Amino acid sequence: MNIILKAAKIIDPDSPYNNQIVDIQIQNNKIIKIDKEINHADFKTVSLDNLHVSQGWFDSSVCFGEPGFEERETIEHGLEVAAKSGFTQVAIEPHSYPITDSQSIVSFIKQKAWGKATDALPIAALTKNSDGSDLAELFDMKNAGAIAFGDYKKAIDNANVLKIALQYVQDFDGLLIAFAQDESIQGKGVAHEGVESTKLGLKGIPALAEELQIARNLFLLEYTGGKMHIPTISTSKSVELIKAAKQKGLQVTCSVSVHHLVLTDKKLNGFDTRFKVLPPLRDEANRQSLIQGVLDGTIDCITSEHNPLDIEHKKLEFDQASFGTIGLESAFGALCTILPIEIVIKKLTAAKGLFHQKQYSIAENNQTCLTLFNPTGKWKFSKSNILSKSKNSAFLDCDMQGEVYGIFNNNQLIINKKI
């Protein structure tokens, strides 16, 4: 595909054109020229209001359901949603049936995603059937295309299993994902243990359930060496623990979800199960600590934590409903209401490096992997903005800022509007 992006402001610290408004000429998936004014009759021109471009965004935690839960979301349609939401790569969690715990399932996901504009990068289960007992076929799944290993929303209770896994994956430079939630402390909790859960009569999940697990996992990492990624942290103490571990030289990274940065447990007042997530939405003090962790670099990346669920799993009493919210469509708009655009872009692209994916700065002769967007303009997220098959969004009726136009990746231009 041959196109020229007209009057595009580049947001890319790695680019010599950072913060400049330029034309970008692309031919056969490569940037061939960047200049103030480019015109060529044989190239399609793309002109959009207040167009900004950055390196393509990477989401480190996305669920699509397939195989097994296609009624929630399919891989093909999910990747279309991701593209229109600005993501050029998504890491797909092993939240399917069967669980991604074998080379064949990893290959299935890669095959279903072949030729799409957005790349699907499978995260494989760390243990067989994600039951926490025996390690899955980690090396075989790595060779099939798995980019990391972790049991989705399940902590490894057996410390020795986690220790052996950390030691084993070092042989092939593997990345281990360690979700942090002590289930014995969580118990039957459904909301953050605090003032709001007490007022509403909901069983609480103490912050300690997350923090205790993180502390244990960091001790194991210090003992074994290797690399660990802690997904979707949610408390002030978690930020402190990870910051201290990094200062000690441990190879630990972490992420936070968009909804934990933007929303608090005050949203639970109506017992709306769209706000039932794991970890639970915390209070304002924890939210502010998470934002500070993003700003000071302790938190490495931000994820939409996209988890489509059908009404049979969400239209229930709060105690009975499943944990999870969709988030691809609302991620950028929600983040722009609380963070500077440079930080938003940095945290939406940082996971590429953490998960060993190639990064292409916006420069001449580089491969094209771009996200197109407008960081200005205020609006409200509504049902019409939901592109996913499932509609369980925690951001309905929330204020947004900015607009995603689409992506250019794998020599494909995906745009949300007519040009």
CATH number where 28 lies: 2.30.40.10
| pLDDT classification of 369: cutoffs 50, 70, 90 | very high
Is 292 inside a domain boundary?
yes
Over residues 332-355, the mean pLDDT reads 97
Q: What is the pLDDT of residue 313?
A: 96
* pLDDT of residue 10 exceeding 70: yes
Is 400 inside a domain boundary?
yes
Do both 392 and 249 map to the same domain? no
Tokens found for residue 417: 């509007």
Q: What is the pLDDT of residue 415?
A: 95
Q: What is the pLDDT of residue 303?
A: 98
Q: Tens digits of per-residue pLDDT, 95-106?
A: 999 999 999 999
Report the CATH number that the domain containing residue 189 is assigned in CATH.
Answer: 3.20.20.140
Q: What is the pLDDT of residue 8?
A: 98
* pLDDT of residue 419 exceeding 70: no
Q: Tens digits of per-residue pLDDT, 209-225?
A: 999 999 999 999 999 99
Do both 266 and 306 map to the same domain? yes
Tokens found for residue 57: 């965004």
Do both 312 and 276 map to the same domain? yes
Contacts of 291 (CB under 8 A, 6+ apart): 261, 338, 339
Query: Strand 30-35 to strand 251-257: parallel, antiparallel, or no bridges (unpaired)?
Result: unpaired
Distance from first CA to last CA of the chain, Å, rounded? 15
Q: What one-character-per-residue DSSP string does 388-402 give? A: SSS--BTTTT-EEEE
Do both 234 and 152 map to the same domain? yes
Do both 136 and 264 map to the same domain? yes
Do both 204 and 330 map to the same domain? yes
* pLDDT of residue 417 exceeding 80: no
Over residues 279-303, the mean pLDDT reads 98
Do both 94 and 195 map to the same domain? yes
Q: Report residue 229: phi and psi, to 5°.
A: -115, 125
Do both 29 and 96 map to the same domain? no
* pLDDT of residue 35 exceeding 70: yes
Do both 204 and 334 map to the same domain? yes
Tokens found for residue 191: 């909301």
Is 113 inside a domain boundary?
yes
Do both 78 and 114 map to the same domain? yes
How far apart, in whole angstroms, are the C-alpha atoms of residue 314 and residue 330? 19
* pLDDT of residue 418 exceeding 90: no
Q: Which of 336, 354, 372 is the C-terminal boundary of a domain?
A: 354
Q: Which of 354, 373, 400 is the C-terminal boundary of a domain?
A: 354
Q: Name the domain count of the chain.
A: 2
Q: Which of 333, 354, 375 is the C-terminal boundary of a domain?
A: 354
Is 359 inside a domain boundary?
no
* pLDDT of residue 276 exceeding 90: yes
Instruction: Report the chain's mean pLDDT, rounded to a whole number.
Output: 97
How far apart, in whole angstroms, are the C-alpha atoms of residue 40 and residue 74? 39
Do both 223 and 322 map to the same domain? yes
Is 210 inside a domain boundary?
yes
* pLDDT of residue 400 exceeding 90: yes
| pLDDT classification of 267: cutoffs 50, 70, 90 | very high
Domain encompassing residue 30: 2-52+364-415
Q: Tens digits of per-residue pLDDT, 61-97?
A: 999 999 999 999 999 999 999 999 999 999 999 999 9
Over residues 160-181, the mean pLDDT reads 97
Q: Tens digits of per-residue pLDDT, 172-185?
A: 999 999 999 999 99
Other C-beta atoms closer than 10 Å to the C-beta of 248 total 10
Do both 173 and 29 map to the same domain? no
How far apart, in whole angstroms, are the C-alpha atoms of residue 253 and residue 359? 18
How far apart, in whole angstroms, are the C-alpha atoms of residue 81 and residue 316? 26
Is 69 inside a domain boundary?
yes
H helical segments located in 207-337: 207-224, 236-247, 258-262, 284-295, 311-314, 331-335
Is 15 inside a domain boundary?
yes
Is 263 inside a domain boundary?
yes
| pLDDT classification of 168: cutoffs 50, 70, 90 | very high
Asked whether 166 and 221 are in contact (CB, 8 A), the reply is yes
